[in-house]
A and B are shown apart, each in its own frame.
Chain A
Amino acid sequence: MSSSVAERHSGREQALTLSQINRVLFVAAAVIIAAMPYLTNSGLLYLVGTTLILAVYSVGWNFLFSWAGLASFGSGGLFCIGAYVSAVALRAGWEQYFLLVIVVATLAGAAVAFLVGFVALRRTSGIFLAILTLSLAELLRHTLMHTRWLGSEDGLPNITRPTVSFIFFELNLKSGPAYYWFICAFAVVMLGICWWLSHGPLGRRLQAVRYDIERASFVGIDVHRNRLLAFVISGAVAACAGAVYAPWAQIVTPELSGMIRSTQPILFTLLGGLHSFWGPVVGAFAFMGIDYATRTLIGIQEIITGGILLGVILVFRGGIVGSWNALLARIFPGRGEQ
C-alpha cells in the first residue's frame, strides 16, 4: 500500500521506489541464501546456517529491546536452555520427534523466561534488568559446568541430526544441505511470526508503552502484562533458535550461556540498526562477513575487526539499515515515502 502512495507522489515514469529497491534486494538475498549449498563449500555453508539461526535469535532479542524497550543481557541463557533440551532429547534417541522436541524446548525457554520476568520485571528495568539477566545466565553456565551428566565444561558432543517422520513421508536432515534448508524454513517461519507479532496489536501496544508508559496505562494497556508477554516471547524465540542450533553444530557447551553469546544479539542489532525489524539480520550477516574476511589475518584479526566495526559505526551512524535508507533517499530524492 505504501509503495503505491509513493508512486503517486513521484510520478509514473520512475520505475523503482525505495521500498521496491529494498524489496528487490531482499528477494535477491533470500534467493542467494536458499541457493547457498550450490554456491559454496561446507565451511561457508556452516557459517551462513549458524548466522541464520543467530539472526532469528537476535530478532527475538530485538523484539524485546526495540519494541518493549527492555534490554536483556542474559538471552544466551535461554538460547542455551533450548540447545541443551534439544541435545539431550536427540542423544536419547527421540530424533523422529524432532519437531516436538523443538516445541518442548521453546516451551521450556518460555517457562523460564516467564519465571524470571514475573519476578524481575515488576522490580527492575533498564540496565538493572540487563545485569540481573546477565548474572542469571552466568549462574546457569556455572551450574552446567558442574553438572556431570550434561558433560560439565566439555558439553554434550555427537548430537545426531534427526530424520523427522511425518504421517506420510520422512524428512532426512542428516546431510549438511538438508539441515541447512531446514534452518532456512525455520528462519522463514520464525521471522514471519516475529514480523506478525511486532506489527500486530501486541507490537503496537508495546511501542505505546515504550514511548510513554503513563499515557499507555491511562488508555488501558496493562503495562506489566504486555512487557511480561514480550519477555516470554523473546525467551521462547531464543530457546527455539537454540533447539535448532544444537543438531547443526552437533555439540553444545556451557559457553552458550556465556557473555559472548548474550552480547551477540546486542551487537548485531546495533550494527544493523535499532528500531528496525531487519536490523539484527543485517547486522548478523555483516558481522559474519567481517569475521570470515579476516579469518586468515592471524594475530592482527582483533585489531582489524575492531577497526572495521568502528569504521562502520562512525560512518553509518544509526546502524546499517537506517543509513542505507537515508543513502537511498539522498541518491533518489523524491522517490522515498519519508
Chain B
Amino acid sequence: MLNRRHILLGSAATVGALSVPAVLRAQSGPIRIGLITTLSGPGQVYGQYIKDGAELSVARINSEGGVNGQQIELVVRDDKNSPDSALAAYRELTGSGIKLIAQGTFTANVLATLPLLKDDGVTSLVVGSSALSVTHENFTPNMFRLGYSAPMCFGGYGHLMAERFPEINKWALVRSDVQALADITNYFASGLVKKAEADGRKLELQEPILVPYNGADFRNQISQVSNSGADGLFNCLQGADAISYYKQARSFQLDKRFKLLCDSANELTVAKALGKNMLESTWSWTAWYPQAMKDNPSSDALHKAYTELRNDPYPNWYVGVSHDCIATIAEGIKATQSIEAADLIPAIENLSFQGATGNVTFRKEDHAFAGDLTYIRFGRSDTTETGWEVFETVHMAGAEFLEPATPGQKL
C-alpha cells in the first residue's frame, strides 16, 4: 500500500518540479491538461469519480494515438474543497505552463479561479457545478461549463413530472438548508407550475420543509412531510444526507404515503447504498446512465473501462461528465491544431460531437452546456440480485429549458 518508495518518489518529484525553470517545460512533449477537483474533505467521493472519468478519457485518447499524434498527460491536483487550495493548485499548474484546465465539484472552488483564466490565457472546462453565477454574473469567455444549469435540468425535471403525472396536483418539497439546493428546488417547482399552467391546471405547492445540512437526524422533518397530505414529493438533499434521510424515512414508509417520489440528483447512489431496502420507486435526474445508451459507442467504451477499473457496473454520472470534459478539450484541439485559448475557444464554441453523456454542445453566448437531459425511475425489486432495478429512462433535449443567456450579468 504505502511504503518508503512512495515518499521518496513524491519528494523527488517535488524537487524536480521546483528545480526546472518553468520556461523549459512549456509544451514540449505531451499535451498537459490540469485537473483540479476535490480529493479530500467533504465531497471527495465526487472528486474521485471526476478523477476516474478524466483518467479513463485520457487513457482512451492516448490508446487511439493521442490528439494529432500528441499524447495527453493529466496532472491531477486536490482542491480540498476550499477555494484557497483550488487557487494554489491552479496557480501552480498554470505557473508550470499548463494552458488547459478541467475543474469541478463545488461552485465556490470554481468561482475562485474563473477571474484568472483570461489573463493567463487558459481554457477551462467546468465539470458539474450547477450554479447560475458561473455562466451569468461571473461569466468569462475562457470557461465552458459541461454542467447542467439548475433551470435546464431541474426546470426540465419539473416539466417532465407535470407532463407525465397530470393527476398529481398537491406537491410537498424537502430540501437541505443551503442556497444551492434552494435554487434547485425553486426551479423544479417553477418547472412544475409552468407546465401545469400551460395545461390549464392549478397546482398546490407547499412551502419547502428544511432539513439541516450535514445533519444527523431528519425524523422530525420526515414526519412533518409524511403528514403533509400531498401526493407528490420532491427531495433535495445531497450525498450522505440523502441516504440517511431515506433510511430514517423507511420506518415512516414514506414511499407508500406518496404517489410519486422525486429525488433531485442522487440517482443510483441511493439505490446502491440502500440495496434491498430501497424505496419502492423514485425518479432522479442523472447526466449519464450507460445502460440506456447502448447505441453510443463512447458511452459503452467508458462504461466497460470503468467497470473494469472499479468493479462497479453503475458508475456515478460525474464519471461520464468529466470524461466528456477531457474529450471536449481533445476535440477542440483536433479541430484547431492549437492549445492557445484564442484558437481553442472558437473551436469549442462550434463543437458538436457525441460524448459519453450524449450530444455535447455549448451555447455560444454564455458557454452553457446545451446537451441532452436524462431522467431515470428506479426502485426496489425482488427479482434482481442487487435488490433494486431501473424501471425506465427518459431522454430529453435540454436546450429548450435553458435559461436566457446573460453573460456578465445576473439573471
Contact = CB atoms under 8 A, between A and B. Distances in A.
B93 A154 contact: no
Interface stretch (B74-82, B240-248, B258-266, B297-305): B74-82
B94 interface: yes
A322 interface: no
A4 interface: no
A255 to B, nearest CB: 6
A251 B2 contact: no
Nearest to A258: B82
Interface string B86-111: 01111111111000000000011001
B111 A155 contact: yes
B84 A249 contact: yes
A255 B213 CA distance: 14
B108 A153 contact: yes
A14 interface: no
B230 interface: no
Determine the interface band of chain A, counting residues with CB < 8 A from chain B: 35 or more
Contacts of B50: none
B47 to A, nearest CB: 9
Nearest to A304: B7
Contact of A43 (B1, B6, B93): B93
B96 A154 contact: no
A301 B2 contact: no
Given A43-B91, A154-B179, A154-B180, A297 B10 contact: yes
Nearest to B37: A298
A122 interface: no
Contacts, number: 114
Contact of B91 (A41, A294, A295, A298): A41
A302 interface: yes
A40 B91 CA distance: 11
B18 interface: yes
Nearest to A288: B88
Contacts of B11: 293
A154 B18 contact: no
Interface string A243-268: 00000011101010000100000000
Contacts of A296: 10, 13-14
B180 A153 contact: yes
Contacts of A155: 83, 108, 111
B361 to A, nearest CB: 27
Contacts of A292: 14
A304 B76 CA distance: 18
B125 interface: no
A46 B179 contact: no
B91 A153 contact: no
Contact of A249 (B39, B87, B94, B107): B87
B95 A158 contact: no
A35 to B, nearest CB: 15
A40 B17 CA distance: 10
Interface residue SS majority, chain A = helix
A158 B93 CA distance: 20
A143 to B, nearest CB: 12
B97 to A, nearest CB: 9
Q: How large, as a class, is the contact surface on chain B? A: 35 or more
B111 A154 contact: yes
B138 interface: yes
B88 A41 contact: no
Contact of A153 (B2, B82, B178): B178
Contacts of A42: 91-92, 94-95
Interface in A113-165: 145-146, 148, 152-155, 157-158
Interface in A186-234: none
Given A294-B10, A301-B78, A302-B40, A253 B83 contact: yes
B131 A297 contact: no
Contacts of A294: 10
Contacts of B115: 157-158, 250
B133 interface: yes
Contact of B88 (A40, A43, A158): A43
Which of B87, B88, B115 is most buried by chain A, counting CB atoms within 10 A of its CB? B88
A303 B2 contact: yes
Contacts of A253: 83, 108
Interface string B14-40: 100010001000000000000000011
Contacts of B108: 153-155, 157, 251, 253, 255
Nearest to B131: A154
A31 interface: no
A153 B92 contact: no
Contacts of A301: 40, 78
B112 A250 contact: yes
Given A42-B92, A249-B87, A297-B10, 14 more contacts: A43-B91, A43-B96, A46-B91, A50-B84, A145-B179, A152-B180, A155-B108, A155-B111, A157-B138, A251-B83, A251-B87, A253-B108, A255-B82, A255-B108
14 contacts: A40-B95, A41-B91, A42-B92, A145-B178, A145-B179, A154-B180, A155-B108, A157-B108, A249-B84, A253-B83, A255-B82, A255-B108, A298-B51, A302-B40
Interface of B: 1-2, 6-7, 10-11, 13-14, 18, 22, 39-40, 51, 76-78, 82-84, 87-96, 107-108, 111-112, 114-116, 131, 133, 138, 177-180
Which 8 pairs between the two chains have the least Cβ-Cβ distance? Answer: A43-B92, A41-B95, A152-B179, A157-B111, A42-B95, A43-B91, A42-B91, A251-B112
